Structure formats: structure tokens, C-alpha cells
Amino acid sequence: MAVLSFLNSTSKRKMLVFLWSLSPWLFLAIGLHYFRDIGVSFLLYHGFCLLPAVLLNRHHWREHLKLPSRSDLIVLLLSSIGFSLFTWITYGLLSDFLVDRELALKSLIDRGFKLSWFIPLSLYFLTVNPVLEELFWRGVVLNELCDEREPVLSPAGIWTNVAFAIWHFLVVRLFVAQTFVPLAIVCVLSVGFLLSWLYRKKDSLILPALYHSVVFDLAVIIILTMVLFGPIRLSEHSKLAPLFARIQG
């Protein structure tokens, strides 16, 4: 009922932004499942979904680009190191529960990924992705739907982070173990709330973008590194070795 009340009271501009927050489903579905191409998927999501909204609504975010303090950067560095270690250790202990390695490799191969893409794709994912996502989800969607006087846990703030989280299902289902999919979406939702809280607390999108990059997106790169370069167990060799041969080609 709270969401319906919120929608009934919105302006046409708010309604447009609300609907645009659903558009990643369309762009990613086309990229991942119609074109079945990683590069096209990034182009559609970043170039045709996020970038136009970010540029057209720059009045929402251009005054929220304060540089982090030294203490903020120190905490960021410690968070990056700590979460990276946590990710590496957790993957080592629970890899079978977290990631379906065969599914991940097949999904990458079917969408044109080659091992030579790893470094440039990782750099792109750590730079362009967090910047555009924070400008869009926090800078545009949160600012348009959720008044500055409203808490992040208001209906508008909750919707912003739910919309940010649920489209990740399209990607998560291609790589992680089936049993981990719901928990993975909950993790993304928690990250969304954390970044929204951090943005409101610091009144700057730069620090959330940095956390998005060197804490959370870096964790994804660490997991991808383990999938692509980790040792193959003898029991998995017969089904994984041919996939590694294809991805190196």
C-alpha cells in the first residue's frame, strides 16, 4: 500500500524515472539473451540505459561530488583489503555453494568471452561501471524519487535499492550456484542500501562510487579470477578442461 500511495503522488517526471529504473531488465535481457554478447550487454546497459539518464538529469548529482576526506580514504582502503580477503577466503571454503564453475564458463563462452579480455574487462568494470551506476542509481533515481528529507528506508528509497538489486538476477543466474542466487540478490540489495546511506551521510557520490569499485566490484573480479585461473580438481577435469581450452582460443 505504501508503494501504491507513493506512485499515486508522483509527478510525471518521477513516474518516468520510476519506469526507467526498470529498464535494465530490458537492456540486459537483449544483450545477454538476444545478442548473447558481453560487449553488447555493457554497451546497452551503460551506453543506452544509464548514460542518457545521467546526462539529462545531471542537475541531480553535479553538486554532490565532494572529495572524500583523508580519514574516509583510509577507511575505504581498509575496507577494500578486508573485504577482498574475506571474498578470497570465503570462495576457498565455499566455492561449490557460491559459484557453479561449469555454468560460469559456459555462460562466458556463449557470450563471446576470451581470456584475453580479462584485464581490459576488469579495468572497465572497476572504473566505468561503478561511476555510471552510482550516478544513475544514487545520483538520479534516489534523488528524483526520494526527497532529501526522506530516510533511505522510505518507500521511495526502498524502491530505488530494490530496483538496483533485482535486475542483477539476469546476470547472477548465469554464474552462481542455483542455491546461492536468492542470497546473492539479498547481498546486492544490502550493498545498495549501504551505498545509499553512505551517499546521504557524506553528501557525495564520489565515496560510494569508490566503495562500489574497490570493495564490491573488486570482490566480483576476485571471484572471476578464481573461476578462470584457479586449480581444477581431478573430479572436475573432464568437464572443465574442454571449456578452458575453448575460452583460451
Residues in the chain: 249
Average pLDDT, the chain: 93
Segment 144-183, tens digit of pLDDT: 998 888 899 999 999 999 999 999 999 999 999 999 999 9
Q: 82 pLDDT band (50/70/90 cuts)?
A: very high
Segment 169-221, tens digit of pLDDT: 999 999 999 999 999 999 999 999 999 999 999 999 999 999 999 999 999 99
What is d(CA 76, CA 72) in angstroms, rounded to the nearest whole number?
Answer: 6
Segment 133-147, tens digit of pLDDT: 999 999 999 999 988
Percentage of the chain with pLDDT > 90? Answer: 88
Domain ranges in the chain are 2-248
DSSP state of 99: B
Cell (9 digits) for 194:
549501504
Cell (9 digits) for 38:
558481453
Give the residue carrying C-alpha cell 542466487.
181
Give the HSE-up count for residue 223: Cα atoms under 13 Å, Cβ half-sphere: 26
Residue in 211, 214, 247 with CA at minimum distance from that of residue 229: 247
pTM: 0.93
Segment 24-60, tens digit of pLDDT: 999 999 999 999 999 999 999 999 999 999 999 999 9
98 C-beta neighbours (distance < 10 Å), count: 20
pLDDT of residue 6: 47
Q: 11 pLDDT band (50/70/90 cuts)?
A: confident
What is d(CA 21, CA 17) in angstroms, rounded to the nearest whole number?
Answer: 6
Segment 106-134, tens digit of pLDDT: 999 999 999 999 999 999 999 999 999 99
Describe the crossing of helices 101-110 and 218-229 by its angle, rounded to 10 degrees.
100
